[in-house]
Homo-oligomer: A and B are copies of this chain.
Amino acid sequence: MKAETPTDSAAEDRIFAALASPVRRQVLQLLRERQPQPVTELAAHFAIARPSFSEHLRVLREAGLVGEHRVGRQRLYRLQAESLAEVQQWLHPFERFWRDRLTRLGEVLERLDDES
């Protein structure tokens, strides 16, 4: 049992802010495909300088989206998917708005209205 607000608002902010960068989203995708990966290997996919990349990793770390794991002189990064689960939880109450047939119908009717 942790001492956390039901949905820690600051943590949520940091997660969504982290996902706002295409570079950081792609890092997560790269880690999805091969699990622990050193910084150099990840950085090879991007045309930005290393300190900039380090900064991106820091943002991902502080959002709890990745974990670090030192081995020798490398730092292996891996996904920390619990933080992404929080995004899904945030998303969940919206699901019915794109799954409901009735909602769809409502949208179509409104769109007809708009076009007049």
Chain A residues packing against B (C-beta within 8 Å): 9, 12-13, 16-17, 19-20, 22, 25, 28-29, 32, 36, 67, 69, 78-79, 81-82, 84-85, 87-88, 90-91, 93-95, 97-98, 103, 110, 113-114
On whether the beta carbons of B94 and A28 are closer than 8 Å, the reply is yes
Question: Which B residues touch A16, using CB under 8 A?
Answer: 16, 19-20, 25
The A interface is mostly helix, strand or loop, or mixed, namely helix
A98 to B22, CA, bound (A): 22
A/B interface sample: 20 pairs, CB < 8 A: A9-B22, A12-B22, A16-B19, A16-B20, A16-B25, A32-B94, A67-B110, A67-B114, A69-B114, A79-B97, A81-B103, A84-B91, A84-B94, A84-B97, A84-B98, A85-B98, A87-B91, A88-B88, A88-B95, A91-B91
